[in-house]
Amino acid sequence: MARKDSKQKVDSRKNAQSLTTPQAAGFCDDFGGCQGGGEGIYLSGNEQAPAAESPKSAQKPTPDDSAILQVYSRLPIIFNKGQGVYLYDTQGREYLDFGAGIAVNALGYGNTAFNTALKEQIDKLLHISNLYYNLPAIEAATKLAKASGLDRVFFTNSGAEACEGALKVAKKYAYEKGIKSPQIIAMKDSFHGRTLGALSVTGNSAYQKPFKPLLSGVKFARFNDIASVERLITPKTCAIMLETIQGEGGVTPASKEFLHAMRKLCDRHDMLLILDEIQCGMGRSGSMFAYEQYGIMPDIITTAKALGCGVPVGAFVLSQKVADLSLKPGDHGSTYGGNPFVCAAVSKVFDIFEELQLVQRVIKLTPSLTQVLQELCDRYDFLHSVRGKGFLQGVQIDPKSKIQAKHIVQLAIEEGLIILSASHNVLRFAPPLIITQEHIELMRQRLTRALDRVS
């Protein structure tokens, strides 16, 4: 078996039993969230957690999905309810969610203040088009600009659309400088979306191959390799685009030296630095945006996912200098982008982040999360190392092992735990930002049971 320390494993099970006992006392954490005992939901007031079956105790559903285009490899689970950091399927089974809808649901599920704000906006106004102003868009843009340290916001309907907009900004910036056929440097192992422009700067040939020819003038450098970027710069290069933390590519943060070098290269050659913060931004890394920890400012960022916490919205945000020298009226647009409903969501998300001190929560609990993951790496010889920032963590499976991350994800689901995988055989952890120490310990318990089943 692949376990390194059987005594440590037994101790872990003792811990797990103490967590799940019905007599466990409830408590309130430092950030205002009240916990019921055991495996209870993240509750407020005197709510009671609904009873839930074990994920292995009932037959899996077999949904009729014949009307849905089959482009996703879905697990045979139908979720129909969420509360706190737990999801419940149609059979009543409970799952501790450490995936957050792929880093979307920062507030978890059933946040009363968030839901109330959405309901109130539905009763006021859903959509009017961008031919007119709406107050939620103005409020949301002001909060996003302030949080990012940049100046001008364009709301989109998704992260991929935000990246498309950022690419148009870069191309228009080059056009205004008289550059014909501008070039963009992107990174290998990157992921920016599935639309044609975003796919063109996504450093994964398997994703690109069926859809070529893609956007011309894109060159790929090695992430965290300064020299590989320098070799690709030409007089036509107008931008460098990268994720501050590569998420889908294996949960790999940019090194401080690399990001500082990118900023200096862009300044020296009058290129734009575009940072994709769609997955790592909005507090997940331990700062509102991950680049804040590096002491640099990008020219453009893209954001989505937790920006709307489940409501489909994204944005690209740019400095005033770049705004003045790029897109003008008529250059870009969106029918739905920035409508009152999605912007009411964005505005309320920023309010709740501040009220619940979610960035501070991430900072406080990150050492505990990384310690648990490191202890699991020390215990199982097929787990190699931990990397990431904040609540975006990856566990690298030993390259010499034949064990696949997707298999462990499946076993974890069977034990009532949702985690993700990433490229290069990495387990990815991206929980809601509202988790507590109890949830981290419960994750350890359920993941340990899954890892014990690996053969």
Q: Which residues does the annotation place in the binding site for pyridoxal 5'-phosphate?
A: 159-160, 191, 276-279, 335
Question: In this structure, what DSSP letter does residue 217 have?
Answer: T
Nearest to 293 by CA among 198, 227, 196, 392: 392
Residue 94: in which H helix or E strand, if any?
A: strand 94-97
CB distance 345 to 137 below 8 Å: no
DSSP per-residue string spanning 375-436 = HHHHHBTTEEEEEEETTEEEEEEPTT----HHHHHHHHHHTTEE-EEETTTEEEE---TT--
Cis status, amide bond into 213, omega within 30 of 0: yes
**Length of the chain (residues):** 455
What b/e sequence results for 108-130 when a residue is b if at least 16 CB atoms lie within 10 Å of its CB, and e otherwise? bbbbeebeebbeebeeeeeeeeb
What is the C-alpha to C-alpha distance for residues 105 and 98, in angstroms, rounded to an integer? 10
- Give φ, ψ of 320 to 5 degrees: -65, -40
Nearest to 429 by CA among 139, 97, 107: 97
Residue ranges of the binding site for N(2)-acetyl-L-ornithine: 194, 334
First and final C-alpha spacing in the chain: 7
What is the C-alpha to C-alpha distance for residues 333 and 339, in angstroms, rounded to an integer? 12
CB distance 433 to 280 below 8 Å: no
As to burial, measured by CB atoms within 10 angstroms (0-12 exposed, 13-18 middle, 19+ buried), residue 267 is: exposed
The answer for residues whose C-beta is within 8 angstroms of residue 321's C-beta and 6 or more apart is 299
Residue ranges of the binding site: 159-160, 191, 194, 276-279, 334-335
Residue 274: in which H helix or E strand, if any?
A: strand 272-276
CB distance 409 to 451 below 8 Å: no
